Amino acid sequence: MKKTNYYALKLAFIYFFFATLWILFSDRVVTALTTNLELYELAQAFKGHLFVVVTSIMLWRLARKNNLDLERASDIDSVTGLHSPSVFMRHVDTLLARAAQKTSHVLVIVDIDGFTSLTNKLGFERTNHLLSDMAHAIEVSTLLDKLTSRIHADRFACLAELDGASDMALYIERLHRECSRYLQRYDQQATCSIGVALFGPDGDDAATLMTAATRALNDAKKRKGAVTYHDIHLTEQAQKRRQLITALRQAIKNKEIEVVFQPQYRLASGELTGLEVLARWTHETYGAVPPSMFIPLAEEQGFCEDLTALVLEKSAKQLHDSDLLGTVIQRVSVNISAVEFNSESAIRRIDDYLQLNPEFARYLCLEITETAALDDILECARVVDTLKRHGVTFSIDDFGVGYTSLGLFNQINVDEIKIDRSFIQAMESDSRAKAITAGIIDIAKRLEINVVAEGVETVTQLALLKSFDCEYVQGYYLGYPASLSELKVAMSV
């Protein structure tokens, strides 16, 4: 508004200056140009027309500038800086018209529950801050390409392009979590509801998708703080996922996650040398939940640190009570996720644990994936050296499936690599897998790095690994994951 006033005043001053000069000098110029009465009258008429043309252009420029400012003001929400509903709908239609039906676009509507009472409690200024923060939460919830708009006083719409159904569930979850987190900065009891519609199944243009997402939102608002899809089956999946997350968080808190141990053997002698600790979760409703389901959930939701702490605590106690550690068992392997390994707080927590438990630390081998090592090799090397002060060893898990350069071993002080099971299981029928496995074992031995072949399931695989001079093996052919008491019976200890 200030710019518009400034521009209007500027034009008024120019007009005043121009008109004053015109009045003062135009007649003199005309008189100086001619003494012919007929030409003089013609020049005066031309002078008048020229004045009208110039002033008309000046007025047109002012009117055009004002109209553009008004259009821009109506295109952008003044509180949040987001697109206006009309611009949003126009852009959504343009994007969807260019998108193929196989492209995964999702339209999400976020609504603040009990907004009127929240506004009365916060006041005008803090409410505007809240709305601005909500807009920020939606924008930063993911790096995905998206369009966002404030479509109502307490309602936001967002169109995001996704890679697939798994990304959609993760995105909606993260969005809900971020929005709730920002809301609760203003009121601990504040919640938001979300309605979701999918491009294709629920509509192929902005208006249809908006209608579908609004219907879903209306259902969500009946429960408050809920997420509802226009497709009821997706809503059921989302609800089950959220219930599973809540149950997992509670299971970790109540120490209901159990540990089992898979034996590792020295191939040449058949001697039991180590154990890999694996987490197991059995829920009263969901039954045995596979690690491939609950571990990614723990990583996504940010409580894998607590899960690892629980696994370390339980395995250390059970091994100590069994009197196997340091006698029969010389090494205990525990997986550290890439999320934890690249988290400063998680590493600090592991460091503190190792400092408090030096007897367990000297037998502990921490397994990290190639992905974790490659994210930041220099930082990875620093973390490995820091934790190695406590006597732990390090293993690269699932070796061979990433993009590891052999130069990695010059930078990171690892003690062991575990060849990924995909190579072991393919050796019998794939000559390339056989050659790669033999090559990995040979190079590792030359570098004085121990090799464990995991996923051994047949006698033929075992024989091939023996011919390659592989040092350690583990897999279902040699022993299933079991409790320590079951392992002791099997070993007759």
Average pLDDT for 247-259: 94
**What per-residue confidence (pLDDT) applies to 240?**
82
Residue 77 phi, psi dihedral angles, 5° rounding: -70, 125
| Burial class of residue 448, CB neighbours in 10 A (0-12, 13-18, 19+) | exposed
Does residue 241 lie in a domain region? no
With 0.85 as the threshold, say if the pTM is over it: no
pLDDT at 236 over 80: no
Better pLDDT: 263 or 14: 263
Whether the CA torsion 377, 382, 385, 390 is positive or negative: it is negative
**What per-residue confidence (pLDDT) applies to 475?**
94
Average pLDDT for 154-171: 80
Same domain, 301 and 440: yes
DSSP string, 229-291: ESSHHHHHHHHHHHHHHHHHHHHHHTT--EEEEEEEEETTTTEEEEEEEEEEEEETTTEEE-H
Cα–Cα dist 471/445, whole Å: 9
Does residue 472 lie in a domain region? yes
| Nearest by Cα to 151 from 105, 107, 204, 205 | 107
Does residue 242 lie in a domain region? no
Please answer whether residues 74 and 182 qualify as being in contact, where contact means their C-beta atoms are separated by less than 8 angstroms. no
Same domain, 271 and 416: yes
- CATH number for the domain spanning 117: value is 3.30.70.270
Beta bridge partners of 281: 289
Question: Looking at the 3D structure of the chain, how many domains does it have?
Answer: 3
Percentage of the chain surpassing pLDDT 70? 85
Does residue 70 lie in a domain region? yes
Does residue 80 lie in a domain region? no
Structure tokens given for 207: 């208006």
- CATH number for the domain spanning 438: value is 3.20.20.450
Q: Which amino acid is at 4?
A: T
Does residue 236 lie in a domain region? no
Same domain, 326 and 388: yes
pLDDT at 314 over 80: yes
| SS3 state of residue 303 | coil
pLDDT at 401 over 80: no
Q: How far is CA 257 from CA 169, 246, 293, 312, 368, in A?
A: 25, 14, 14, 12, 21
**What per-residue confidence (pLDDT) applies to 72?**
55
Cα–Cα dist 235/230, whole Å: 8
**What per-residue confidence (pLDDT) applies to 68?**
57
Q: Which domain holds residue 60?
A: 2-75
Q: How confident is the model at residue 405 (pLDDT cuts 50, 70, 90)?
A: low
Residue 291 phi, psi dihedral angles, 5° rounding: -55, -30
pLDDT digits (tens, 9 = 90+) for 447-476: 899 999 999 999 999 999 999 999 999 999
Does residue 461 lie in a domain region? yes
Beta bridge partners of 192: 112
pLDDT at 15 over 80: no
Domain boundary among 181, 202, 230: 230
pLDDT digits (tens, 9 = 90+) for 329-338: 889 999 998 8
Q: How confident is the model at residue 303 (pLDDT cuts 50, 70, 90)?
A: confident
Same domain, 384 and 469: yes
* DSSP character at residue 189: T
